[in-house]
Amino acid sequence: MQINPNRFYFLLIFLLPLFVFGQQPILTEMNDFYPDELIVKGFTLTTPQEITVTASAITPYRGRNNFPFTQAWIIDSKTRDLVWTIIDADEIDRSRRITTFEEKVQLEPGNYEVYYSTFANYQFFDGNWYGRNGFWDNLFGNVFYGENWGVSRRDYRDVFLVVKGDGNQVDAGEVEVWQESKKEGALLDFGALRDEVFKRKIMKVNEPVKLKLYAIGEAREDGKYDFGWIKNIKTREKVWELTYRESDPAGGARKNRFTETEIELNPGLYEVAFVTDDSHSYRRWNSASPYDPAFWGLTIWLVDGNTRNSIVFKDIEKYEDKNVIVEIDRVGDSDYRSKGFSLKRELSLNIYALGEGRDGEMYDYGWIVDANTREKIWEMEYYDTENAGGAEKNRLVDTQFLLAAGNYIAYYVTDGSHSYSEWNSGQPYDPKRWGITISVLDDNFTEGDVTDYDESDDESVLVRITRIGDDDRARSGFSIEKDQKVHIYAIGEGRGNEMFDYAWVENAQTGRIVWEMTYRKTERAGGASKNRLFDGNIFLEAGEYNVFYKSDDSHSFADWNESPPHDPINWGITITKLEK
């Protein structure tokens, strides 16, 4: 049978436009991947249309766990909304390790960012790292399949992504320009953060304002690792914080979390901060990245652009907190520091302390005592703290405390490891403030409301014999003009009804012991059970007295052979008047 040439040419001319115009141009194409990489490209659409996305992914799992080991997605560059992901696409072909997906997506004109991630995507698997099911898979999986179920370099070469539509292709550099343009319109940009970053600014709000917050970080149910907050400096209240419970999945690894919310702020001073730990951050991912990796951190926009003049930012280095009255910071190993202060009237204080603690016990910590009664009025206790970034044992307390007029001493003590500049695991996000800082919160505070307190100038202190070492024998004396009660605060060593480091008081004229630190009179002083404390009042007649302290050859100030007491600085005896 012969075909009429004229009819053939007519048919060719008729069908040619269908082939030419029926095939959509390629907007984005990706292939030849390597493990653990994140590739980004983009495209621009000038008209509303339906694009076609065809992509393959490595799928080495069997049964119900047949989810993509690698992943791909598209986001709207302006709104940052997710418009397509391979997880929700239709499956059109499957081989032993590779599955191909295809989906048509209706999009409006705009700029779009296309991502392909070859980081292993484990977020769909219950309780196991490689997505295995059952005893035999867990026992023999590595033997038959390799570490990641037999995923090889060839598998990465075989996967691809193609986006087709009527628009313009864009490379990674242009996508970055889009992202920077989005950030330039922001009130504050703490985005694209790398490892071990601590970003802070002081924000002064002059009139009520509404903000839009967009934050992406790292958090699990057991803690937060890359996160941010906005804190009212006066009240120390966190008006916003990125936590696991107050966030949603951000795509990729389960620990990627995000929030997009609006908050209203009243006039005042606020601290805006975002912190990252030592792993898994922008361009330093240790598992699958979030869907919007360039905005890892915190970005803030004004809901109403006309309110821009109502907010002023200051760098944290240029902000001077003039209300600080105690600053014990950058404390190193085996250190003991103290600072006295006197309040002339009742004041509301902020206590900000960083230290080391684990399993309910603190090892580097601070406390405050009444200088006259030696009563401990505040102490940094483990269950009042939160993680301070870095290692879980880095602990932080940031609290308010109302304190009456009087004389006070703030103490801070560290053990023999993990302190400022000598970290043995991840450092906190605010390492320079390892110690205790106290500031006044009252609006009408003046410098005359607080003065320095020096215990050596305090006439109420009758005797102070402290920081006693091994094999020591110390002596001091005092006199009182009338019968009265005095307060004794003594710390020593005792066990089994016997004291080894202890104090006593003698009448200077008769030599009679009027008080002695016995085991039965003492209680636990914290740390080792042999640390003993007497904290009470005794009655003395008018006269002269001698005070003695004796220690044995072990376990004393700065030379502990077991855990030190909670107040190691005052190992010894202090006697004060109760009457002014």
Using H for helix, E for strand and C for coil, what is the string for 498-531?
Answer: EEEEEEEEEECCCCCEEEECCHHHCEECCCCCCE
Q: Does residue 251 belong to any structural domain of this protein?
A: yes
Q: Does residue 508 belong to any structural domain of this protein?
A: yes
pLDDT, greater one: 115 or 563? 115
pLDDT above 90 (res 54): yes
Question: Do 465 and 499 fall into the same domain?
Answer: yes
Q: Does residue 534 belong to any structural domain of this protein?
A: yes
Query: pLDDT band at 464, cuts 50/70/90?
Result: very high
User: Percent of the chain beyond pLDDT 70?
Assistant: 90
Nearest to 249 by CA among 73, 113, 64, 91: 73
* Cα distance between residue 235 and residue 442, in whole Å: 10
* Cα distance between residue 70 and residue 100, in whole Å: 12
* Cα distance between residue 309 and residue 139, in whole Å: 63
Residues 282, 192: contact at Cβ < 8 Å? yes
- pTM for the model stands at 0.80
State the pLDDT at residue 95: 81
Contacts of 145 (CB under 8 A, 6+ apart): 60
DSSP 197-242: -EEEEEEEE-S-EEEEEEEEEEEETTEEEEEEEEEETTT--EEEE-
Whats the size of the chain, residue-wise? 580
Contacts of 120 (CB under 8 A, 6+ apart): 36, 69, 70, 148, 287, 288
Query: pLDDT band at 4, cuts 50/70/90?
Result: low
CA-to-CA dists, residue 229 to 202, 319, 359, 520, 540, angstroms: 12, 18, 26, 50, 55
Q: Which of 455, 489, 523 is the last residue of a domain?
A: 455
Query: pLDDT band at 61, cuts 50/70/90?
Result: low
Q: Which CATH number covers residue 218?
A: 2.60.120
- pLDDT tens digits for 378-392? 999 999 999 998 899
Q: Which of 297, 317, 337 is the last residue of a domain?
A: 317
Question: Do 332 and 411 fall into the same domain?
Answer: yes
- pLDDT tens digits for 505-563? 999 999 999 999 999 999 999 889 999 999 999 999 999 999 999 999 999 998 999 98
Q: Does residue 2 belong to any structural domain of this protein?
A: no
- pLDDT tens digits for 308-333? 889 999 888 777 777 899 999 999 99
pLDDT above 70 (res 198): yes
State the pLDDT at residue 10: 47
List the helix and strand counts (H, then E) for the chain.
Answer: 4, 39
Question: Do 34 and 83 fall into the same domain?
Answer: yes
Q: Which CATH number covers residue 130?
A: 2.60.120.380
What residue numbers bound the domain in which 287 lies?
A: 185-317
Nearest to 188 by CA among 120, 274, 90: 274
Q: Does residue 11 belong to any structural domain of this protein?
A: no
Of the listed ranges 89-103, 335-349, 519-533, the one predicted with least confidence = 89-103
Strand, coil or helix: 142: helix
Instruction: Indicate left, alpha or beta for 421 from its phi (over 0: left) and psi (-120 to 50: alpha).
Output: left
Question: Do 395 and 436 fall into the same domain?
Answer: yes
Average pLDDT of the chain is: 89
DSSP 143-201: HHHTTTTT--HHHHHH-EEEEESSEEEE-HHHHHHHHHHHHHTSSEEE-S--SS-EEEE
Instruction: Indicate left, alpha or beta for 32 from its phi (over 0: left) and psi (-120 to 50: alpha).
Output: left
Query: pLDDT band at 435, cuts 50/70/90?
Result: very high
State the pLDDT at residue 447: 84
Question: Do 150 and 255 fall into the same domain?
Answer: no
| Residue 119 in tokens | 């980081």
Residues 174, 42: contact at Cβ < 8 Å? yes
Question: Do 312 and 333 fall into the same domain?
Answer: no
Strand, coil or helix: 534: strand
Residues 250, 294: contact at Cβ < 8 Å? no
Average pLDDT over residues 209-213: 96
Q: Does residue 32 belong to any structural domain of this protein?
A: yes
Average pLDDT over residues 142-165: 73
Query: pLDDT band at 5, cuts 50/70/90?
Result: low
Query: pLDDT band at 438, cuts 50/70/90?
Result: very high
Q: Does residue 6 belong to any structural domain of this protein?
A: no
Radius of gyration of the chain (CA): 34
State the pLDDT at residue 362: 93
Q: Does residue 4 belong to any structural domain of this protein?
A: no
